[in-house]
Amino acid sequence: MKLVIAISSRALFQLDESHAIYESEGVEAYCAHQRANEHVVLEPGPAFTLVKKLLALNKGVEVVLLSRNSADTGLRIFNSIEHYQLDIKRAAFCSGASTHRYVAAFGAQLFLSTNPDDVRESLAHGLAAATILPSHRENDSGQLRIAFDGDAVLFSDDSERIYKQLGLDAFARNEKEAARDPMPGGPFKNFLAALHAIQAAYGPDDSPIRTALVTARSAPAHERVIRTLRAWDIRIDEALFLGGMPKGVFLKAFGADIFFDDQPVHCDSAREFVPTGHVPYGIANATVGGED
């Protein structure tokens, strides 16, 4: 299986200055700024280190760029890609339009962006996607380490709905009664499966990828998680059942290159220690008029 990651230009590179010009002065000023600085190399963005590690894995991994820039203003982005010797050859420049339309077209298993609207649209079409949050933390390890929340990320939000609507006791009772019933997959199940396929080519001690489940669940709700992953025949290297403890320090200890969670409160804890992607999916992200 080929692993394809789609990433926005603002997730890959630091474009805050340029974006501020766009917000305050408009499109023409932004375009003029990008043309005037097209040979000025952009600084790495929040997902830059993750992309470098992904590209270093093997020839079965591809990263494609999806950008709201035009092809003209995107020249600076490609010049920066060349400067850092990133093996990114495919791109879509949408001139201000949404980029989510091209995630499936490129066959991507994951889309990372700083634009929450593009991320929500991708999730609504059944694709794994996350909003990359600003963070200045990164893992120095050569190994690619990716951590996931469970409910509404790897798994569906069915159990989380019970917790939100009926409380902790009802949630614990349901998980104990359904311990042998595998949970439906969430938006990141297929991405985890793609990572597992790469890991399968290596021994357990020499894999370039290490994965972790970092969940607020605790016993007895752990059993259903373990049996679900067993039923999926998907490898997870580490599983942390934290019983509601803040996740940030544990993610730092794991050395995550990125952590995916659906709940903003957990993302805020995590981003103080590791790069973090918010997954605006499920009941934790419900709004008055429905769900995002």
Using CA atoms, how far apart are residues 63 and 72, in angstroms rounded to an integer?
21
SS3 of 75-124: the string is HHHHHHHHHCCCCCCCEEECCCCCCCHHHHHCCCCEEEECCHHHHHHHHH
Using CA atoms, how far apart are residues 206 and 63, in angstroms rounded to an integer?
23
Q: Which residue spans within 190-245 are E strands per DSSP?
A: 209-215, 238-241
**Number of other residues whose CB lies within 10 A of the CB of residue 218:** 13
Using CA atoms, how far apart are residues 212 and 145, in angstroms rounded to an integer?
8
Helix, strand, coil shares, percent, the chain, to 5: 40, 20, 40
Q: For this structure, is 149 an active site residue?
A: yes
Q: Which of 117, 118, 140, 149 is catalytic?
A: 149
Cα 98 → chain centroid: 18
**276 has which bridge partners?**
259
**Number of other residues whose CB lies within 10 A of the CB of residue 156:** 18
**210 has which bridge partners?**
145
Largest separation between any pair of C-alpha atoms in the chain: 63
**Number of other residues whose CB lies within 10 A of the CB of residue 31:** 17
Catalytic residues: 149
